[in-house]
Amino acid sequence: MSTSTSVSHWRRSAQRFVRDPLAMASLGFMLVLGLVALFAPITSRVDPNFQDLASRFTGPSADHWLGTDNLGRDTWARLVYGARVSLLITLSSALIATAIAVPVGLVSGYWSGWVDTVVMRLTDALLSIPPLVLALAIAGILGPGSRNLVIALVVVMVPGFVRLVRGQALAIREEGYVDASKAIGTSAPVILTRRVLPHVLSPLLVQVSIALGTILVVEASLSFLGLGDPPPNASWGGMLLDGFRLMATDARLVLVPGLTIALATLAFNAIGDGARDALAGTALQRRRRGDVLGTTSVVDRTPAPEADAARAAPAVAGTGGALLEIRGLSIGFDTGDGIVQVLDGVDLDVRRGEILGLVGESGCGKTVTAQSILRLLPSPPARILGGEVRFEGTDLLSLSSRELRRLRGNDIAMVFQDPMASLNPAFTIGDQIVEAQRLHREVSKKDARVRAAALLDRVGIPDATRRLDEYPHTFSGGMRQRALIAMALANDPKLLIADEPTTALDVTVQAQILELIHELRDDLGMSVLFVTHDLGVVQDLCDRVAVMYAGQVVETTSVHDIFAEPRHPYSVALMQSRPRLGGAAERLVSIPGVVPAPAEMPSGCRFHSRCELAVDACAAAPVPIEQVADLHLVRCIRHEDVAAGHLADEHQGVHQS
């Protein structure tokens, strides 16, 4: 977390905490108690173990502020020195437990898999045992002593802290800005420490503050049972034990340590409640301003089932200039019923300097395809079942994590659908663009910041230098998307993957973003894979189009031909479902049915149940994709009938009836 970000967040929380009188009074009490214990030789005046049998059971006096015990030892001195022991054990136990729980919880929640399974089974087992019973068992085995007491308390507290950190990491790893960090090449350790950990600290601080009271009570209980520092050393639990034995003679000896333990426990709880309210209030304020809070990046490769005719990639003429080549890409997801395939033999080419549109209904596999290129899908459950993704001849699916990070955000950049979720609310816009540069280039912060301002200016954000220091919530939706594009352009990528970047924007801003992408392509010569469901966007922006349906590419051709001469019934249906301006008013054509679920794909052509031209042969066997014209690929056995206009005639007959 940057210094400015940290100061801003914690300052607001501190201001709210200071306005809580109970929390401040409790903090003051604990500070005074800690100082008194720290300077015990000064504040107690006498040795806590000095015995004066002639002064046994004396009451409070000028010489003995809280009286003496059965051996004539000064009760105040023993209380002060006992505070040293009890508070040191409490604080060190909490600190050690936190130091262990944070890395374990982060790794468990972020990577999941077998590590998460082992950690959570151990955590569940420990949490199933009452804390005092577990601590008593461990301390009883190890024997009396402060060190053994700390070990027992750490074992008791770690599972709860681990569960908290893991839960936060699980939630944050799904945030868009974590995927955006992966897309610019950020390593997993950096994501954990700079993206996940800052959002874990607030709830963890509250949990630790509240847990201090519990630790103090458990420590006193174990010392009361004789498992703390052995006599004559003073501790609050030991004093409680001595007072309990002498309660019939002098109740003061049990009242003093008991009341002190109770007050310290209540103070810890009040501090924890105050911290919770202060941090929660700050988070609420941030959410009201529009803030939004973030697997492994390597997808497991699982051997593909025997290839069928539908997965045979056709020989395509004229693709020698392809920057990106996807061949036979098949992706599956682990489920309770086995692996469910969501992509089946996807073939795509993105040539140098072109904009390729990837279109289809929601659920067709467009985003999965786009994220598969940079291996951003969570693994598990995602698995590569087959195929290749070649960028400048290199198969991205075979690269190591380190090799892939060199490409992410450098040669290949990605812009995601939701700009608010893709920008980290805890960092300024400038911080994020600077980081994108310094991950891949040896450049100073000053020079990177100058370039960041130039990038913001290039994408049309006014007063760019000043706005570098602003947070994402201060930007409008269109400006956030422009900032994301600026971050994607930080290292002059050769390929930009844009996953529906204009979906959440109004039409005016959408047009501006599309014009910006088109200008950047012309000026920089980069290639663009543009994922969208908006055919109007495709018509205005793209050079070629790939139509996806149910995890397969069913047609690929030029943007002119897809609108003028579509050859697949699904492409025709998409064209006919577009609203048109002018002409006679008529009901919009809709495609009957819905995209089948991945686990319920029909046999043969996956569109045949919704197709007006379907015949028995369409359901008999998988349909291969074939070349029907120069750079025109179609997956349909009746593409000639579609070209002859038969499908349009049949649709017309349906409307007339």
Q: What would the two tokens of residue 171 be?
A: 């939630």
pLDDT in tens, 357-384: 999 888 899 999 999 999 988 877 888 8
Q: What would the two tokens of residue 473 be?
A: 């919530």
CA–CA dist 526, 353 (Å, integer):
5
The pLDDT of 446-459, averaged and rounded, is 92
Residue 77 and residue 44 in contact, taking contact as beta carbons nearer than 8 Å: yes
With residue 325 as reference, give the H or E element that holds it. Answer: strand 322-335
CA–CA dist 574, 647 (Å, integer):
13
Q: What would the two tokens of residue 526 be?
A: 């980069």
CA–CA dist 413, 183 (Å, integer):
6
The pLDDT of 395-399, averaged and rounded, is 91
**Going by DSSP bridges, is the β-strand pair 355-359/527-531 parallel, antiparallel, or unpaired?**
parallel
| Residues written for the chain | 657
Radius of gyration of the chain (CA): 33
pLDDT in tens, 426-450: 789 999 999 999 989 899 999 999 9
More confident residue, 62 or 138: 138
CA–CA dist 143, 416 (Å, integer):
57
Least confident of 237-241, 243-247, 447-451, 503-507: 503-507
CA–CA dist 388, 330 (Å, integer):
9
Band of the pLDDT at 78, cuts 50, 70, 90?
very high
The pLDDT of residue 188 is 85
The pLDDT of residue 446 is 92
pLDDT in tens, 130-175: 888 999 999 999 998 899 999 999 999 999 999 999 998 988 887 8
pLDDT in tens, 583-636: 555 666 778 888 888 888 888 899 988 888 888 889 888 899 888 888 899 999
The pLDDT of residue 582 is 58
Dihedral sign (CA 87, 88, 93, 94): positive
**Going by DSSP bridges, is the β-strand pair 527-531/495-499 parallel, antiparallel, or unpaired?**
parallel
Please count the other Cβ atoms lying within 10 Å of the Cβ belonging to residue 62: 5
The domains located in the chain, with CATH, are: 3-288 (1.10.3720.10), 311-579+601-656 (3.40.50.300)
CA–CA dist 246, 253 (Å, integer):
7
Residue 655 phi, psi dihedral angles, 5° rounding: -65, -40
Residue 216 and residue 30 in contact, taking contact as beta carbons nearer than 8 Å: no
Please count the other Cβ atoms lying within 10 Å of the Cβ belonging to residue 554: 25
CA–CA dist 516, 525 (Å, integer):
13
Q: Fill in the DSSP letter of residue 442.
A: -
Q: What would the two tokens of residue 613 be?
A: 């031209």
Computed over every residue of the chain, the mean pLDDT equals 84
Write the CA distances from 22 to 195, 208, 263, 275, integer angstroms: 33, 18, 13, 11
CA–CA dist 217, 237 (Å, integer):
9
Strand partners, 332: 341, 383
Dihedral sign (CA 608, 534, 557, 306): negative
Contacts of 421 (CB under 8 A, 6+ apart): 175, 176, 177, 292
Q: What would the two tokens of residue 415 be?
A: 């812009």
**Going by DSSP bridges, is the β-strand pair 382-391/322-335 parallel, antiparallel, or unpaired?**
antiparallel
Q: Is the pLDDT of residue 83 over 90?
A: yes
Report how far apart the first and last C-alpha atoms of the chain are (Å, whole number).
Answer: 65
Residue 538 and residue 545 in contact, taking contact as beta carbons nearer than 8 Å: yes
Residue 631 phi, psi dihedral angles, 5° rounding: 60, 25
pLDDT in tens, 458-477: 888 889 999 999 988 888 88
Instruction: State the pTM of this model.
Output: 0.68
For 592, the 3-state DSSP assignment is coil
CA–CA dist 379, 317 (Å, integer):
35
Residue 59 and residue 67 in contact, taking contact as beta carbons nearer than 8 Å: yes
The pLDDT of residue 177 is 80
CA–CA dist 342, 331 (Å, integer):
6
Exposure class string for 315-345: b at 16+ Cβ within 10 A, else e:
ebeeeeebbbbbbbbbbbbeeeeebbbbbbb
Q: Fill in the DSSP letter of residue 175.
A: S
CA–CA dist 208, 288 (Å, integer):
27
- Nearest-CA neighbor of 485 among 416, 430, 424, 534? 416
The pLDDT of 242-247, averaged and rounded, is 87
Region of residue 376 (left: phi > 0; alpha: psi -120 to 50; beta: else)? alpha
- Nearest-CA neighbor of 500 among 489, 487, 486, 484? 484
Band of the pLDDT at 580, cuts 50, 70, 90?
low
DSSP for 600-616? Answer: GPPSSSTTGGG-TT--H
With residue 536 as reference, give the H or E element that holds it. Answer: helix 535-541
DSSP for 198-216? Answer: HHHHHHHHHHHHHHHHHHH
Residue 476 and residue 510 in contact, taking contact as beta carbons nearer than 8 Å: no
Q: Is the pLDDT of residue 187 over 60?
A: yes
CA–CA dist 565, 548 (Å, integer):
17
